[in-house]
């Protein structure tokens, strides 16, 4: 089927490094084309299916996948195309929208901690606790003296999860401004997808540069050895799917999940 570059290495935001999305090519494919990527992606999806089955049976640890990106970056599409490899019995998807009144009465991590995966589960976050250093920052919802402390709080929260047996892998889906415009237009033009479009999307689009600066700082300050960020070139959906499936499969494979030992049963058991 062929091979592809080590995307887990190439797309990693190295802990302690300075992320600069302006220097990143969201259209990069590292020499691959769509036809070549299709069988590779399928192979990774098959790996993920097998790995999850072992992980669920083992039921000793958990995996948390965080998906972030600007509007129309492809978070929903990634869940649909990549996470279809998982049995829903052991995979829980959580989407974080505007906090409720109850959630606002607690610290910003309260609603997040409640949705972290149990042992044996793979949890998917569609947006996450990072909204509290992104949207909150760009819209000046809380003062800088508040949100600026949250990077360290997030790192410690994720360290706690990691030390409790949760492997965390974070994907930032990067698209450029032209690609976002085309996706917004496609949503608006398609009657079956127009429900996903709102005029508020255009207002947010005006804040593109502010979001890029917020993304840069979040990626730089919260990519850690225990919860690394990967910046995924997402202009091409087929490459996004290849990259996410490859990195996720390699991450789970490194945990070496295994079926539990066979129970001590009689060799001549007949069930009637």
Task: Dump pLDDT digits (tens) for 126-148.
Answer: 999 999 999 999 999 999 999 99
Average pLDDT, the chain: 95
Domain-located, residue 263: no
Summarize pLDDT for 165-223 with one digit per residue, the tens.
999 999 999 999 999 999 999 999 999 999 989 999 999 999 999 999 999 999 999 99
Instruction: Give the CA angle between residues 132, 177, 236 to the nearest 5°.
Output: 95
CB 187 within 8 A of CB 74: no
Structure tokens at 221: 């300050």
**In the structure, what pLDDT confidence band is assigned to residue 120 with cuts at 50, 70 and 90?**
very high
Domain-located, residue 265: no
Q: What does the alpha-carbon distance between residue 179 and residue 183 come to, in Å, rounded to a whole number? A: 6
- Taking each helix axis from N to C end, the angle separating 208-222 and 150-163, rounded to the nearest 10 degrees, works out to 50
Q: Please compute the mean of the pLDDT values over residues 1-27 and round it to a whole number.
A: 90
Model-level pTM?
Answer: 0.95
pLDDT for the residue numbered 1: 44
Q: Please compute the mean of the pLDDT values over residues 78-93 and round it to a whole number.
A: 95
Domain-located, residue 116: yes
Domain-located, residue 132: yes
Q: What does the alpha-carbon distance between residue 77 and residue 243 come to, in Å, rounded to a whole number? A: 13
**In the structure, what pLDDT confidence band is assigned to residue 3 with cuts at 50, 70 and 90?**
low
Summarize pLDDT for 29-65 with one digit per residue, the tens.
999 999 999 999 999 999 999 999 999 999 999 999 9
Radius of gyration of the chain (CA): 20
Q: Count how many domains the chain has.
A: 1
Report the CATH number that the domain containing residue 149 is assigned in CATH.
3.40.50.300
Domain span at residue 63? Answer: 33-253
Domain-located, residue 128: yes
Burial of 180 (0-12, 13-18, 19+ CB in 10 A): buried
SS3 160: helix
CB 116 within 8 A of CB 62: yes
For 13, list phi and psi in degrees, rounded to 5: -85, 105
Domain-located, residue 264: no
H helical segments located in the chain: 7-10, 34-58, 75-81, 101-104, 110-113, 135-138, 144-147, 150-163, 177-189, 199-205, 208-222, 237-253
Q: What does the alpha-carbon distance between residue 245 and residue 225 come to, in Å, rounded to a whole number? A: 20
Domain-located, residue 24: no
Domain-located, residue 216: yes
């Amino acid at each position: 089927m062929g091979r592809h570059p080590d995307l887990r290495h190439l797309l990693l935001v190295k802990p302690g490094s300075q992320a600069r999305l302006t220097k990143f090519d969201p259209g990069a494919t590292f020499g691959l084309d769509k036809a070549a990527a299709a069988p590779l992606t399928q192979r990774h999806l098959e790996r993920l299916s097998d790995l999850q089955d072992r992980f669920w049976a083992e039921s000793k640890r958990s995996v948390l996948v965080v998906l972030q990106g600007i509007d129309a970056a492809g978070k929903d599409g990634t869940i649909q195309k990549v996470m279809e490899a998982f049995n829903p019995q052991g995979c829980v998807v959580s989407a974080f929208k505007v906090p409720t009144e109850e959630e606002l009465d607690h610290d910003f991590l309260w609603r997040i901690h409640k949705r972290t995966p149990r042992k044996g589960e793979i949890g998917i976050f569609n947006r996450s606790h990072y909204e509290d250093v992104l949207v909150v920052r760009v819209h000046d919802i809380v003062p800088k003296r508040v949100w600026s402390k949250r990077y360290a709080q997030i790192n410690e929260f994720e360290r706690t999860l990691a030390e409790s047996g949760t492997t965390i892998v974070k994907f930032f889906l990067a698209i450029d401004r032209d690609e976002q415009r085309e996706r917004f237009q496609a949503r608006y033009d398609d009657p079956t997808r127009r429900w996903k479009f709102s005029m508020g999307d255009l207002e947010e689009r005006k804040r593109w540069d502010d979001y890029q600066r917020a993304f840069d700082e979040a990626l730089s300050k919260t990519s850690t050895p225990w919860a690394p960020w990967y910046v995924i070139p997402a202009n091409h959906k087929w490459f996004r799917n290849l990259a996410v499936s490859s990195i996720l499969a390699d991450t789970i494979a490194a945990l070496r999940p295994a079926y539990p030992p066979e129970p001590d049963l009689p060799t001549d058991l007949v069930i009637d």
